[in-house]
A and B are shown apart, each in its own frame.
Chain A
Amino acid sequence: MSSFKIAIASGKGGVGKTTISVLLYHQLQKTMNETISLVDCDVEEPNSRIFFPASTQTNKEVAYQEIPMIDTTLCSFCRKCVNVCEFNAIMMVSALEHAEVNESLCHSCGACEYVCDRQALGTKRVAIGEMSQHNTSTGVLYEGRLEIGSVMQTRLIGMLKEWGATDHLTIYDAPPGTSCSVVETLDEMDYVILVAEETSFGLHDLKLIVRLVKALQLPFGVLINKAGLGTTPLKAYLEQEHIELLGEVPHNLEFAKASAQADIFSNIPWSIQTSLERVTQKIKHKRVEL
């Protein structure tokens, strides 16, 4: 079978992106006769693997960012690099013949190296996180894990997607929010499932992420999670905007408790199981249609 990339996203955190991601990964694996992968793109707080305590790590790689280093024996202190750096990452005191790059501000864009007449800029590698591959009971899981204190979450997501590139059906668990790290996750997706809850916060943040997927011109649908918990008329919004409702996963406190113990697969309530089966059917159809 061919590659098919599905992202699971939501504006709001805590609506169940990871829960839905791992459940769909599990369900798809059961019903489709092929390898399924799950890529945990929430590199700031990667949680998918918690639900597979018996998984085994099969590969690992440290992700690096290239930071320029200024060789002050070659530098003429002309300040061209300082002037082109849009991120104010280069500090230079010409009188003291001092020049350095602030790692936490640098975007590794290469502009400084490009303008330097003296080849005074070399590079050093700084670790921004780790990428790892795991065999789970149901398939292959890729995880990105940002180094604590690093601000390079978006870069790491891009690297993880390249490192864990597959040629089959793959689920991408996105970080919360609507900014650059989410955009990076959604890039080149074939389909996006937006997870939402029927609360005022849930609807507000759903509207934000809908605006984003529309701007990115990606096909998408909405899956309501914890249905019945809140009272906000989210379905009315979907109807009004002609957004496809993919299904509803009912709120179930017992299941939430099992999930809080990372014990998610052993006792999936019937109502949730039925809903998952419907969604996986829809995913299969989308794959044919798109």
Chain B
Amino acid sequence: MREITVLSGKGGAGKTSITAALASLCPEAIYCDNDVDASDLHLIFSPQKEQSYPFEYGWEMTIDPLKCNGCQLCESLCRFQAIHVNKDGKAEMKLFKCEGCRLCERSCPQKAISAKVNRNNHWFISSTRFGYLVHAEMGVGEENSGKLVSLIRKESRALAKQQGIGYVINDGPPGIGCSTIASITGTHAVLVVIETSESGWHDAIRVLELAKKWDVPTYAIINKVDINPVLSEKINLYLKKKHIPLLASIPWSKEFVESMERQQNIIEYSQDNVLKASLQNVWDAIK
């Protein structure tokens, strides 16, 4: 089984468009949307949810105002500035700042603080016209997206094994933080979509360095190549020097937006055979 993760660093560089295009080029795969914060792949895949599970992680804290005597111990111990004692002398919790360490609960002399398991995140196995999609929805402002990414990747691999499917393709999150790291560790290949803008290039370098740190074989696509031809030359040279295979250079095209608006991928929507052939090359090189 081979697992491939599509990343970019910068948002809007074309990760999801490329991942969706691969779905028409790869004969059989499990698709996994690792961008659990703001997942969009399902907007093209039109999935039918078949199985739904809560992702139980972390704690939701509650302070009982009847028991709290306003001693401020919790406020002074909390390293996340999640608690403050209000003017009525009662401790109040800012749940969005709480990281669920439970130090306040354990240290409260009045036993006024309690914790219950957080069940605000969910993940799904859905059927689509391309095969199974494993995806997730996070509760409002939830943390631990890295843990959720690790979980859905594990479930995707298990599903691939069970179904005898040879590929797992991950649509990665933007950035280089915890959820991106969770989408890189242990994957067989990273495909970096580089937007040909100074920002896109700056961000892609940070992702390439991250992938190198985890020792994952890396491939590149240059996207919107015509919006900055000078920079595209520079990117080309850099990739050559670092021995990172450049699999395609794709020009900016309104067709990507148009296909998205019709819930289709670019291979389904476009009549542009040059573009289709160049995406076919991408799949042939990373498969």
- Asked if B173 and A229 sit within 8 Å, CB to CB, the answer is no
- Asked if B231 and A179 sit within 8 Å, CB to CB, the answer is no
Q: How far is the CA of A256 from the CA of B199 in the complex (A)?
A: 12
* Chain B window 175-188, contacts with chain A (Cβ cutoff 8 Å), 1 for yes, 0 for no: 11111110000000
Q: A47 to chain B: which residues have CB within 8 Å? A: 10, 199, 202-203
Q: A45-B176, A50-B202, A183-B141 are in contact. Are A110 and B79 (CB under 8 A)?
A: yes
Pick the residue among B40, B202, B210, B231 that contacts A205 (CB under 8 A): B40
A5 at the interface (CB under 8 A from B): no
Q: A84 to chain B: which residues have CB within 8 Å? A: 102-103, 106
Pick the residue among A108, A154, A201 that contacts B40 (CB under 8 A): A201
Q: B196 to chain A: which residues have CB within 8 Å? A: 260
Q: Is the interface of B mostly helix, strand, loop or mixed?
A: loop
A216 at the interface (CB under 8 A from B): yes
Interface residues of B in 230-259 (CB under 8 A from A): 230-231, 252, 254, 257
A148 at the interface (CB under 8 A from B): yes
Q: How far is the CA of A154 from the CA of B177 in the complex (A)?
A: 9
Comparing B24-32, B83-91, B92-100, the segment that makes contact with chain A is B92-100
- Asked if A153 and B11 sit within 8 Å, CB to CB, the answer is no
Comparing A13-21, A69-77, A132-140, A277-285, the segment that makes contact with chain B is A13-21
- Asked if A215 and B141 sit within 8 Å, CB to CB, the answer is yes
Interface residues of B in 204-251 (CB under 8 A from A): 206, 209-210, 213, 224, 227-228, 230-231
Q: How far is the CA of A45 from the CA of B173 in the complex (A)?
A: 12
Closest Cβ of chain A to B69, distance in Å, is 20
Comparing B142-150, B152-160, B275-283, the segment that makes contact with chain A is B142-150
Place the interface of chain A in its size category. Answer: 35 or more
Q: A208 to chain B: which residues have CB within 8 Å? A: 37-38
A168 at the interface (CB under 8 A from B): no
Interface residues of A in 185-237 (CB under 8 A from B): 187, 199-201, 204-205, 208-209, 211-212, 215-216, 229-232
Q: How far is the CA of A255 from the CA of B157 in the complex (A)?
A: 43
Q: How far is the CA of A10 from the CA of B245 in the complex (A)?
A: 33
The chain A residue with its CB closest to the CB of B148 is A179
B59 at the interface (CB under 8 A from A): yes
Closest Cβ of chain B to A225, distance in Å, is 11
Q: A183-B96, A260-B196 are in contact. Are A111 and B175 (CB under 8 A)?
A: no
What are 18 A-B pairs at a CB distance below 8 A? A44-B9, A44-B206, A50-B198, A50-B199, A115-B106, A149-B181, A153-B178, A176-B174, A177-B35, A177-B174, A179-B179, A200-B260, A205-B40, A211-B140, A215-B140, A230-B257, A232-B261, A261-B230
In order of increasing CB-CB distance, the 5 nearest A-B pairs are: A13-B11, A14-B12, A177-B37, A109-B101, A260-B197
Interface residues of A (CB under 8 A from B): 11-15, 18, 42, 44-45, 47, 50, 84, 86-87, 107-111, 114-115, 146, 148-151, 153-154, 158, 175-184, 187, 199-201, 204-205, 208-209, 211-212, 215-216, 229-232, 253, 256-257, 259-262
